Amino acid sequence: MTDQVYLDYNASAPLCEDAKQAMIAAMDVAGNPSSVHASGRAARKIVDHARRTIADLLGGDSERIIFTSGGTEANNLALNGLEDVTVFTSAVEHPSVIEARPDAKRIPVDENGVIDLNALEAMLKDASDAGQKVLVSVMLANNETGVIQPVAKVGLLAREYGAKVHCDAVQALGRLPVDMGRLLVDMVSISAHKIGGPKGIGALAIAPGVMLVPQIRGGGQEKYRRGGTENVVGIAGFDAAAKRAEANMARMADIAQMRDRLETELASEAPELLIAAKGTDRLVNTSCLILPGMPGETQVMALDLAGVAISSGSACSSGKVRESHVLKEMGVDEPGSAIRVSLGLESTDDDIDTFVRVWSRMRGNAARKKARHAA
């Protein structure tokens, strides 16, 4: 970490020390996990141990954890791995879900970004009446607003109509319990770098009875569900980060207090400030702040120059100046004026103080400049 105040954990968490040390140790293991000699068996042991750790975290079966290159690949495998299905996704999903299946039917959301269960049920009924097989994909927590979706209720509806459910839990992992049984889902996507693990490694967990057509072919790895030599170093880091995330779930209460204080102080400073989905269940680490009249990209750049790192939306859209599809679906008037502040295990009260001070100064400077121009 640099001296910069880092408040962009939903984009990526800093690599934690546990993961770093596990990766360094794994670098000394030369073997391919598919080799039968001692060095290969040592690599396989690392992979198998991580598979059990992640399965325990998700309440699943280690034999049904598929390692991928990240959350995006996991989502693509889930959405394209089932044959002859009609896909329903919420209108506020991550781009890796929406763009994986542009033919999907969109489930609307309300003004808080929460899925419309009545609309979903009507869609499921129509599909059932037409004899269609359906896969419903609904994220557990939104990456931009932090809004938590009623995934278990989605699962209940899906079971009633014989549909399967995929859940993108990338943002929820380490912040909410992600138990496949309780969520009533058939597939869950997760990613290491959101919880202090390395970038470039993720996983898709599947329930018994889910048979996937591999999207990456060329080997028998991952029980023929995803070809390619396993990323042993990344998997070792994922293992360590997953253990750390589970051990620190109780810290979310402290993070909630910091996030709430940030929002309270900003609202007191700027009555015109809008906090997206403030009255709805959200991840305790996430604030989506809308300052009317000031583009989010301008805020991001001003804060960056002052030593504070935040974002203006999904990190997967970095470099692209476009308004948030999530906020548009929620009916927000100025979606381009939003920024996202997201906290993590390393965040401190001093970080919050710095952000509030810098943001307030930025807002004040912008207001004075606007007044001079008006005069």
165 forms beta bridges with 136
| Closest to 190 (Cα-Cα) out of 222, 221, 167 | 167
DSSP 211: -
325/327 Cα distance (integer angstroms): 6
Please give the mean pLDDT across all residues of the chain.
Answer: 95
Q: Are 1 and 344 in contact (CB under 8 A)?
A: no
pTM here? 0.95
Pairing of the two strands 187-191 and 202-206: antiparallel
Structure confidence at residue 86 (pLDDT): 98
> What are the backbone dihedrals phi and psi of residue 29, each rounded to the nearest 5 degrees, phi first?
-95, 110
316 a catalytic residue: yes
Structure confidence at residue 373 (pLDDT): 73
Q: 76-107: per-residue pLDDT in tens?
A: 999 999 999 999 999 999 999 999 999 999 99
211/99 Cα distance (integer angstroms): 22
Q: Domains in the chain and their CATH numbers?
A: 5-13+251-374 (3.90.1150.10), 17-247 (3.40.640.10)
Q: 163-209: per-residue pLDDT in tens?
A: 999 999 999 999 999 999 999 999 999 999 999 999 999 999 999 99
**Residues whose CB falls within 8 Å of the CB of residue 283, separated by 6 or more in sequence, listed in order:** 141, 146, 148, 171, 172, 175, 176
Q: 218-237: per-residue pLDDT in tens?
A: 989 999 999 999 999 999 99
